[in-house]
Structure formats: C-alpha cells, structure tokens
Structure 1
Amino acid sequence: MTLAQLQYLVALDTHRHFGDAATACDVTQPTLSGQLRRLEDELGVELIDRSRQPAVPTAAGEHIVEEAREVLAARDRLTTVASEIQDRVTGTLRLGLLPTLSPYLLPLLLPALETAYPEVSLVLREWPTTEILDALCTDALDAALIATNEAGPELHDRVLFTEPFVGYVAPSHRLAHRDALTPADLSLEDLWLLSEGHCFRDQVLQVCGRVSSTPQATAQFESGSLETLVRLVRNSGGMTLLPRLATHHMPETEQSTFVVPFADPSPTRDVRLVTRRRHKQRLVDAVVETLHDALPATVPPP
C-alpha cells in the first residue's frame, strides 16, 4: 500500500470519475485504475463500484476512503512540522474562492504573497459557496473565502474583512450624480442582478428589502458575472450593486462617472475564512497576513 494509491482513491471519491480523478492526480487514467486494482487486491476488498456511473465507493470503500483521508492529512501535518522545525513557511495551500471575490482579490493577493512567502504556492478553485463547503468537508480544499455565515459545526470560520457595497449607476439613471445612496432609493425595476445561486444576489435583494424566493416579474436580465452586469450598465443603462473591491481596478474616470457609495451605515458583506483542519495553520496565517496587508484602505480588516 502506498500514499499515492490512497491519494488516487480519495481523488476518485471526490470527482466520481476515473478520468477526472487521474487529471487531478496528474497521472494517466490506466495508471490510476491499475493502482486502485492493486490496492483492492492487497486489502482483499472491492473499494469501487465500477458498475455505476458516476463511479462511487462500495460500502466497504467508504470506510477505507475516510481512513485514507486521515492518513493523507497526517502526511500533510508531518510536512508542516518539518517546515516549522526549519522555521520556514513553505508548502501548498488549496484555496477556494467565490466568483464574486476571486477576480478582484487575487490580483492584490498573489503578487504580495509571492514577494513575502516565495515558497508558498496556492492551488485556487473558484466555486459557489455550497461547492466550497462540500470540498472543505471532503478535504478537497484546505481553506476557503466565503461571504455568508453558512459554515457548519464541523468547520472553523472567522471574519477576515467587511466589504462595503457601492452602486454602479449609468449617467442617465435617476440616481446618477448622487453623493450617496440609501437602500430606500433602490428599485428592482431598474437593477441588474446576478442569477440565482449567487450569495451576492441574495445579499442585494436583502438590501432592497426582498428575499430570493420573492417573484421577480420586473427583472430584465440576470447574469452569472459581475463584469457582465457592469457592461450592461455601461451600454444599456440602469444600475447594479457591486462589492467595493470590484471597483478598485477601474480607471479613476470610470469610478467618478459610475460609482456611487452608500450613506452610512453602508450595506456590507463579511468575507470569512473557513477551514476544517488546522494542520496547515502556518500557511493559512501567511495568506491571511498577506491579504490584510494588501487590502485597500476602503476595505479594512476587522
């Protein structure tokens, strides 16, 4: 039995597809399949139900998968301990981020992290909140940044920073050229929204005094991308709401023309760090420290 075989087994349980698991492990599918057969022969038990699609562990395989995850976590802890003995921060952190966060946060974080901790590497995954939490629970991720308080009791979470919302308003819109907005100013009739399934959509609806289950007969269009909403406002009018970090890459002329802040107290979202295990704590601390240093003054840490 080898650690590689256990890694292949865990990858197959995570991806439920031999080809995807092989890709994740950077091996060929025949290699992964053959090694899993050898593991089954050595243990004397069938681990994978190959008659089903997607591929799933057998009842016995589920127990072995859980033990394999523990063994691989122990391996990672040993690597971390060895680095600490040498007083080095080194290793790989698998980090999940929301689609409404990663395009704006990563350009701030990655260059700063490379400078401060050149031996730290990130494996980044951009997923919705539910997929991120599932990946944390199955050890497919080491840590994640989410914007809701949905972490279950098996996960650890803390607020990293609180991000204000701003309006992105076309110059022809009734709210253009305001010094500040209030939630009472907003109307869903001329507000571009993200599509269902995005937590930022639900937060915007809450600012407007609505809930996600409320019928939206007046909605014009819903998008899966904040950048698409920005282009719609620019080219078709109307307005949308953005998290503050989404405006920092914009030219000053665009910010002065389209971006309108909220009057205090501004609507905000808390961006939280979520982890399951603490075996990569020095890596997590390095990322958090670098992130706090990289945040602009408009989005301060708590």
Structure 2
Amino acid sequence: MTITQLEYIVAVDTYKSFILAAEKCFVTQPTLSMQVQKLEDMLGVKIFDRARQPISATEVGAEIIAQARVMLAESYKIKEIVTDRQKELSGDLKIGIIPTIAPYLLPRIITRFIEKYPQVKLVVWEQNTEQIIQQLKMGVIDCGILSTPLHENALTEIPVFYENFVAYTSKASKLYKKKNISPEDIDVEELWVLDEGHCMREQVLNICQRRKSTKGFQHFEYNTGSVDTLKRMVDQNNGATILPELALDDLNEKQMDRIRYFKAPEPAREVSIVIQRNFLKRRIIEALKNEILHFIPKKLRTKKKKDVIDI
C-alpha cells in the first residue's frame, strides 16, 4: 500500500470518474486504474463499483477511502512541518466562499494578500454552504468562509467577525417611514429573499419568524442567488429586502437613504473560516484570517449586543 495509491482512490471517490481522477492526478487513466486494481488485489476487496455511473464506492470501499483521507492528511503534515520552517509562505490555498460574502470581502483583501505573500496562490470557488461543506469533508478545498454555526462535528469553525443585517426599502414600503425597525415591522408579503440553498435565506426567514404571524411569503418563489439582484428588485418593483452590512460600502447616497437599521440587539450573522478537524496549511490560513481582520472594522469583531441568527 502506497501514498500514491491512497491518493488515487481518494481522487476517484472525489471526482466519481477514473478519467477525471487521472487528469487531476496528472497521470494516464490506465496508470491510475492499474494502481487502484493493485490496491484492491492486495486488500482482497473491491473498493469501487465500476458498474455504476457515476462510479461509487462499495460499502467497505467507503470505509477504506475515509481512512485513506485521514492517512493522507497525516502524511501531508510531514511536508507542512518543513514548510513551516521556511520564512516565506508558499503553496496553494483552496478556498470556498458563499456568494453573500464573496463580493464584499474578497475584492478588498486579495490584492493586499497577494502583494504580501507572492508565493501563495489563492484558488477560490464561490458556492453555496452545502457545496462548501461537502468539499471540505472530501478535502477538495482547504477552508471555507461561511456563515456559522454549521453544526457539523467533522468541521472546526474559527469565528472572524459578526456582521449586522439591515433592511433596504423602497419609498412605498412602510419601513421607509421608520427611523429604526424591529422584526415585527417587516411585512413578509413585500420581502424579497434569496432562493433555496443559501444560508442567508434561512437567516432572513428566522428574523421574520419572530413576528406573531408569518403568513404570506409571496415573493419567496423568486429564485436568485445574488444580494445585488434583490436590491435591484426593490429599486424597480418596490418592497424591501435584507442586506448584510458589508454590502453598504457599494451603495451611493441615494441608496443609503433607503437603509433602515434594526433596533438593538441587531440581528447579525457570524462569519467564520471553516476547516477540517485535522486541517493543513495552518500558517497560510492564519495569514488569511489576519488579512480579513485588517479590512474588517473593529465594531464587527465582537458580537456584543448583536443577536446572531442561526442557519
């Protein structure tokens, strides 16, 4: 049994294809298939059910692959010991980030991070929470930037900041006439929200469910994954929506006039860097956290007087 063989079976499990796994491992498909077959012959079991499409692990194969991921993570730590001795950070950092955070955070930190750590390559995927959780568990990405808590025992959350939610209203909305609002003031029938699969949708619904009545939700069938689209829907079709506080940096003076803040304790979300329990690339991830904190206003670094909304 070799490290290479373990890498190959993990790749096949991740990509559900011998051909794609071979491409990702930079070997020919016959070479990868031969090594997987050798491992199966040595163990005396079938790791993959090749008759199924996409290819999937057998029952015993799934257990073997899970242990292979643990063994590979431990073996990579040996390389990390050497890397940590080097003064300059280097290597790839694969990051998953949700769409309601990405446009307001990444553009502000990427340039500074690259200039500060030129030997580090950032590889970023913008995906929803469930996709990022799955890729973290499979080891496809090194960390995720997500709204937490996730309630996932296999993952570790490192809280970085706490971001308030605010209301963005049309002039026709009753909210526009108020200086500060509470969840009870929200008319759910005029509210625009994100579609299924986005954690901020659930957080907004949790805010609204504090009302005595939650009937309606007539706009919840509108499917969008973009916070900016929600704002445009309010601009052109009236109603209201809920925005994360960092989105306010992109608003002009006229749009800021449509923002209404919640009364204390303000509803907020916790934003964390999420990693596997036995995570690697500790120094690079710590550097990423520090760059985020450098950009984030100090008032966002504490949850004092904020009502963190669970997913």
Q: TM-score, normalised by structure 1?
A: 0.85
Could you tell me whether the CA contact under 8 Å between 1:108 and 1:295 is conserved in 2?
Answer: no
Answer yes or no: is 1:265 the counterpart of 2:274: no
After TM superposition, list the pairs within 5 Å mapping 1:148-163 onto structure 2.
148-163=148-163
Aligned to 1:229: 230
Could you tell me whether the CA contact under 8 Å between 1:47 and 1:60 is conserved in 2?
Answer: yes
Aligned to 2:289: 288
Aligned to 2:92: 92
The one-character-per-residue Cα deviations of 1:216-248 (angstroms, maximum 9, x if unpaired) are 453364333222211111111111001112222
Aligned counterparts of 1:29 and 1:227: Cα–Cα separation in 2: 43
Q: How far off is 1:192 after superposition?
A: 0.6
Q: How far off is 1:206 after superposition?
A: 1.7
The one-character-per-residue Cα deviations of 1:139-186 (angstroms, maximum 9, x if unpaired) are 223221221312323322132100001111123333226433222221
In terms of mean alpha carbon deviation, does 126-135 or 38-47 score higher?
38-47
In terms of mean alpha carbon deviation, does 28-37 or 267-276 score higher?
28-37
Could you tell me whether the CA contact under 8 Å between 2:191 and 2:217 is conserved in 1?
Answer: no
Aligned counterparts of 2:263 and 2:275: Cα–Cα separation in 1: 34
In terms of mean alpha carbon deviation, does 215-224 or 24-33 score higher?
24-33
Identify if the C-alpha distance between structure 1 residues 109 and 26 changes in structure 2 by more than 3 Å, giving closer, same or farther. Answer: farther
Identify if the C-alpha distance between structure 1 residues 186 and 176 changes in structure 2 by more than 3 Å, giving closer, same or farther. Answer: same
Could you tell me whether the CA contact under 8 Å between 1:223 and 1:229 is conserved in 2?
Answer: no
The one-character-per-residue Cα deviations of 1:12-67 (angstroms, maximum 9, x if unpaired) are 21232345545544666566546545655676654321101220123443344234
Could you tell me whether the CA contact under 8 Å between 2:190 and 2:240 is conserved in 1?
Answer: yes
After TM superposition, list the pairs within 5 Å mapping 1:2-17 onto structure 2.
3-17=3-17
Aligned to 1:202: 202
Aligned counterparts of 2:24 and 2:215: Cα–Cα separation in 1: 41
The percentage of counterpart residues that share the same residue type is 35
Identify if the C-alpha distance between structure 1 residues 167 and 78 changes in structure 2 by more than 3 Å, giving closer, same or farther. Answer: same
Q: How far off is 1:254 after superposition?
A: 4.4
In terms of mean alpha carbon deviation, does 89-98 or 68-77 score higher?
68-77
Identify if the C-alpha distance between structure 1 residues 44 and 208 changes in structure 2 by more than 3 Å, giving closer, same or farther. Answer: closer
In terms of mean alpha carbon deviation, does 90-99 or 34-43 score higher?
34-43
Secondary structure of the 1:82 match is helix
In terms of mean alpha carbon deviation, does 160-169 or 273-282 score higher?
273-282
Write the letter of the residue equivalent to 1:12: V
In terms of mean alpha carbon deviation, does 231-240 or 277-286 score higher?
277-286
Secondary structure of the 1:223 match is coil
Identify if the C-alpha distance between structure 1 residues 132 and 61 changes in structure 2 by more than 3 Å, giving closer, same or farther. Answer: same
Aligned to 2:179: 179
Could you tell me whether the CA contact under 8 Å between 1:166 and 1:261 is conserved in 2?
Answer: yes
Secondary structure of the 2:148 match is coil
In terms of mean alpha carbon deviation, does 38-47 or 123-132 score higher?
38-47
Aligned to 2:128: 128
Write the letter of the residue equivalent to 1:181: I
After TM superposition, list the pairs within 5 Å mapping 1:94-113 onto structure 2.
94-113=94-113
Aligned counterparts of 1:47 and 1:74: Cα–Cα separation in 2: 21
Secondary structure of the 1:140 match is coil
Secondary structure of the 2:175 match is coil
Could you tell me whether the CA contact under 8 Å between 2:188 and 2:217 is conserved in 1?
Answer: no
Could you tell me whether the CA contact under 8 Å between 1:91 and 1:121 is conserved in 2?
Answer: yes
Could you tell me whether the CA contact under 8 Å between 2:161 and 2:271 is conserved in 1?
Answer: yes
Q: TM-score, normalised by structure 2?
A: 0.83
Aligned to 2:309: none
The one-character-per-residue Cα deviations of 1:190-212 (angstroms, maximum 9, x if unpaired) are 1111123322112112212259x
Q: How far off is 1:113 after superposition?
A: 1.2
Aligned counterparts of 1:176 and 1:81: Cα–Cα separation in 2: 56
Identify if the C-alpha distance between structure 1 residues 14 and 55 changes in structure 2 by more than 3 Å, giving closer, same or farther. Answer: same
Aligned counterparts of 2:4 and 2:272: Cα–Cα separation in 1: 33
Q: How far off is 1:11 after superposition?
A: 2.0
Could you tell me whether the CA contact under 8 Å between 2:180 and 2:262 is conserved in 1?
Answer: yes
Identify if the C-alpha distance between structure 1 residues 222 and 27 changes in structure 2 by more than 3 Å, giving closer, same or farther. Answer: farther
Aligned counterparts of 2:238 and 2:23: Cα–Cα separation in 1: 44
Secondary structure of the 1:194 match is coil
Write the letter of the residue equivalent to 2:238: G
